[in-house]
Structure 1
Amino acid sequence: MKKAFSFLILVFLCGTFSARLSAELSMPHIFADHMVLQRNEAINLWGSASPKEKVTVELNGQKTSVRADASGKWYATLRPMEAGGPYTLIVKGKKERLAFDDVLLGEVWICSGQSNMEFRLHAAMNAEKEIADAENYSFLRSFNVKQEMSHRPLSDLQGEWRVCDSGSAGDFSAVGYFFARELYRELGVPIGFINTSWGGTDIESWMSMD
């Protein structure tokens, strides 16, 4: 019985060690299909892999390779690019491959605040007309950050990029949508806006304890 118990412990420890050595190739949820990346600025990409694993990223003809650190974290940078797309972002490890489709390069803005920023387009004045008109602005993309509380900093967030059309726009931040639409009309480039607002929150909610 003692030998069997010792063997089980050894198997468990070996399995745990092996899992740590072969982490899944992954990236935070902000990197996803339909995302917008900032034009004319260095493009920063990051994620997790196995410790010391080589990771290669490719986008719009650019390609670079980096190596994950001892904890499996990796960070890569691509040179600035002009507005355009759609492109496919490819991220490859030793055995795994990630592909993100319909990626655009344009202007990216963060929309944050309380209820006036959280306020959705479906509740705005002339909402029915505005939502129907949204079908003409597929180069607008919104990422609604899921509301989640934590007593410590998180390395990821939940949410998804959504292409602007009459089926999705109603759930966009109204201020974010109108702002993005005006920018698109003026600049003529893709616009992405990240809605990270939460009605009724005090400023202290957004700050560290320090």
Structure 2
Amino acid sequence: MKPIPVYGTADAGERIEVQLTGNNASAVTDANGKWKIMLPPMEHGGPYELSITGRHQKIIVENILIGDVWFCSGQSNMDFKLKNAEGGKEELKGVNAVHRNIRLFRLEAIAQTDNSAWDSLTLVKTNRGEFFSGNWKDCDSSAAADFSAIGYYFGRRLAKEENIPIGLIQASVGGSPIESWIDRHTMEQDPLLVDELNNWRKSDFYQDFCRERSSVNLRNATNDKQRHPYEPCYNYETAIEPLTSFPIKGVIWYQGESNAHNVELYHHLFPALVNSWRKKWGAAFPFYYVQLTSIDRPSWPSFRDLQRQMVKEIPGTGMAVTLDLGDSLNVNPTRKKEVADRLAALALHYTYQRPVAANGPELIGTDIRGQKMILQFSHARRLSTGNGKTPTGFELVNDKGVRFAAAASIHANEAWIEIPPGERFQKILYAWQPFTRANLVNEHGLPASTFSKKLHP
């Protein structure tokens, strides 16, 4: 449990009184009219009533729940609406009856970053930082329909298994690069990133898609300094910063499609984002993210492998593997419930300390026995395949860089790879195709990640 902040603005020097279910406190606004009151922690529950009284006005807020709030952010796959997800329409039929302990806060954008030119009003509001708006809503069919499918299913499972109120805040923009979600101070103080602040629409660090799409959206702009949600820091400043005084339990993140062209740079950017958000909130909250799925884009295997490695590099993180849920042609596959369930499993296991399987098989060692290479995996008592067929997705790379598909068999928590005679191999790959049909899973059905492992020093 954490103290409960209540804050706002009024006239300078005005006395503000706050009351929440028997807890009373007061404060005097500062010279800028800002005030903040910290109420003591409360047990999960509700609904409660909050009253805020000033010199000339009294505000009463009803139907308040005390629970855990999770922040859901990223680009189009996090933005993907429940009503458009596989099984979403059927799910919505029962929402009103079962989700009274879930609250939704969706930061809705005034325009989509689609392939269209924005009108003058949208451009003006975007420049003013008025790109997002939103408020808390009950989790009824109307609010849930347009909410993130992944966020909704994630919250639904937590609320059910923990039996506590769950609040979900969604801030996501289709196509947005990670730079748009990082704060300005972090970018300014980073010699690798600072130049992006001034020339992002011409920077090679930015994916062609982001530069091209923003140019379409800004086709009618007459302001040389016209802003856009793909711009470095923009989404942080307009969506994240205003909420950093609000306590959250943790973050779920699905982003990377617009940065997958530059794997090395993302290795620098992602830790910068995680660290900056934790610093701004003043809490080392858990940060669970989705590994990119499968699609026919050349850099994606390397990007997935980087995401796998960063779990070990950034404390308090976890990664949901989704390579088995991809679509070879569509960057937005519709099977979002499975993604959310894997994120929820991470939260239940690592944050709520529940005995829930949360990780797929992870390579921990290799051994050579005759003409076989033995791969040992953790997070698996017994390996199997997701489709019940022969294991696939393994490749060996020889000392000339030539890749060979490798036959594999399963023995308890080991995969045995047949070594072709007459070759010296330097590396083993798994699920290294952009769109992969690799099928290794553990006894809980959780898939193994893309990986690359050197076999010799």
The CA deviation at 1:166 is 2.5
- Select 1:145's aligned residue among 78, 87, 107: 107
- The letter for the 2-side match of 1:126 is G
Aligned to 1:189: 164
Aligned to 2:64: 103
Aligned to 1:200: 175
Aligned to 2:143: 168
Give identity over the alignment, percent.
41
Aligned to 1:48: 9
The two structures have a TM-score, normalised by structure 2, of 0.36
Paired residues in the alignment total 170
Compare CA radii of gyration and give the structure with the larger one.
2
The CA deviation at 1:142 is 0.8
The CA deviation at 1:167 is 3.0
Question: Residues 46, 103 of structure 1: CA spacing in aligned structure 2 closer, same or farther, 3 A cutoff?
Answer: same
The two structures have a TM-score, normalised by structure 1, of 0.75
- The letter for the 1-side match of 2:145 is G
Structure 1 residues without counterparts, runs of 5 or longer: 1-39
The equivalences for 1:25-44 within 5 A come to 40-44=1-5
The CA deviation at 1:140 is 1.0
Is residue 90 of structure 2 the alignment partner of residue 115 of structure 1? no
Q: Which of structures 1 and 2 has the larger relative contact order (alpha carbons within 8 angstroms, sep 6+)?
A: 1
- Select 1:72's aligned residue among 8, 30, 33: 33
What's the secondary structure of 2:172's corresponding residue?
coil
Question: How far apart, CA to CA, are the structure 1 residues paired with 2:161 and 2:25?
Answer: 33
Equivalent residues of 2:104, 2:143 under 8 A apart: no
Measured on the aligned residues, the alpha-carbon RMSD in Å equals 2.0
1:118-172, Cα deviation, whole Å (9 max, x unpaired)? 0000011112211112121121111011226756888x96202121122332111
- The letter for the 1-side match of 2:178 is I
- The letter for the 2-side match of 1:205 is S
Question: How far apart, CA to CA, are the structure 2 residues paired with 1:157 and 1:43?
Answer: 25
Structure 2 residues without counterparts, runs of 5 or longer: 111-124, 189-457
**Which range moved further: 160-169 or 114-123?**
160-169
1:94-126, Cα deviation, whole Å (9 max, x unpaired)? 121111110100110100001110000001111
